A and B are shown apart, each in its own frame.
Chain A
Amino acid sequence: MTTATPDLATGAKQPGFLSRFRPRGTVWLAVPAVLVLVIALAYPLAIVVVRSFTDPAPGIGNYVWFFQSAVNRTVLQRTFVVAAWVTLVSLICAYPYAYAMTIVGKNVRLVLILCVLVPFWLSGVVRTLAWVILLQDSGVINSFLRGLGLSPVKLIRTLPGVIIGMTQVLLPFMILPIYSVMKGIDTRLLQAARSLGAKPWRAFVQIYMPLSLPGVYAGVIIVFILSLGFYITPALLGGPRSIMLSSLVQNQVLSLLNWGRGGAMGVVLLVATFVLLAIAAPLMRQKHTSSRREA
Chain B
Amino acid sequence: MPSFPRIFLGLFCLLVAVLLLAPTLVVIPMSFNGNKSLAFPPVGFSWQWYGNFFTNPDWTTSFTNSLFIALIVAVVATIVGTLAAFGVTRAAARTGGLLRALLITPMVVPGVVLAIGIYAVYLDAHLVGTVTGFVLAHTMLAIPFVLIAVQASLEVFDQRLETAASSLGAGRLTVFRTVTLPLILPGILSGALFAFITSFDEIIVALFITSPYLKTLPVQIYSSITRDADPTVAAVGTLLFIATSLIIIAGLLFGMRRGRT
Contact = CB atoms under 8 A, between A and B. Distances in A.
B80 A32 contact: yes
Contacts of B113: 45, 48, 229, 249, 266-267, 269-270
B10 A133 contact: no
Interface in B138-182: 139-140, 143, 147, 158-160, 162-163, 166-167, 172, 175
A94 B99 CA distance: 31
Interface of A: 2, 5-6, 9-10, 17-18, 20-22, 24, 26-34, 36-37, 39-41, 43-48, 51, 93-94, 96-97, 99-100, 110-119, 121-134, 136, 138-140, 143, 168, 171-172, 225, 228-232, 236, 246, 249-250, 253-254, 259, 262-263, 266-267, 269-270, 273, 277
Contacts of B81: 33
B233 interface: yes
Contacts of A110: 252
Nearest to B204: A231
Contact of B30 (A112, A133, A266): A133
B137 A119 contact: no
11 contacts: A32-B83, A34-B102, A39-B140, A41-B109, A44-B117, A44-B118, A99-B9, A123-B221, A125-B203, A125-B225, A269-B113
Contact of A44 (B121, B163, B247): B121
Nearest to B249: A114
B252 A37 contact: no
B124 to A, nearest CB: 9
A133 B163 contact: no
A212 B81 CA distance: 31
A115 B167 contact: no
A40 B24 contact: no
Nearest to B166: A21
Contacts of A253: 116, 119
Contacts of A97: 12-13, 16-17
B187 to A, nearest CB: 16
B114 A44 contact: yes
Interface in B218-253: 218, 221-222, 225-226, 233-234, 236-237, 240-241, 244-245, 247-249, 252
Contacts of B115: 250
A103 B87 CA distance: 38
Given A27-B87, A27-B95, A34-B102, 20 more contacts: A20-B166, A21-B163, A29-B84, A29-B86, A33-B81, A39-B140, A41-B105, A100-B10, A111-B17, A121-B247, A125-B201, A126-B24, A126-B221, A129-B225, A129-B237, A246-B110, A246-B111, A249-B112, A269-B110, A270-B109
Contacts of A128: 225
Nearest to B101: A281
B166 A2 contact: no
Contacts of A6: 160, 163
A282 B237 CA distance: 40
B258 to A, nearest CB: 15
A179 to B, nearest CB: 12
B20 interface: yes
Contacts of B166: 17, 20-21
B110 A134 contact: no
B27 interface: yes
Contacts of A246: 110-112
Nearest to A33: B84
Given A36-B143, A37-B106, A122-B244, A96 B13 contact: yes
A51 B14 CA distance: 49
Across chains A and B, which 4 residue pairs bring their CB atoms closest together, nearest first? A229-B110, A44-B117, A30-B87, A29-B87
Contact of A118 (B19, B21, B136): B21
B118 A127 contact: no
A28 B83 CA distance: 9
A121 B198 CA distance: 9
Interface string B1-37: 0000000011011001101110110110010000000
B80 A36 contact: yes
A2 B160 contact: yes
Contacts of B197: 121
A17 B110 contact: no
A40 B140 contact: yes
Contacts of A113: 252
Contact of A30 (B99, B106, B120, B218): B99
B208 interface: yes
A136 B26 CA distance: 13
B184 interface: no
Given A48-B113, A232-B203, A273-B109, A140 B221 contact: no
Interface core residue of B20, B27, B95, B204 (most chain A CB under 10 Å): B20
A47 B204 contact: no
A100 B252 contact: no
A146 to B, nearest CB: 13
Contact of A17 (B137, B167, B200, B245): B167
B192 interface: no
B116 A262 contact: yes
A265 to B, nearest CB: 9
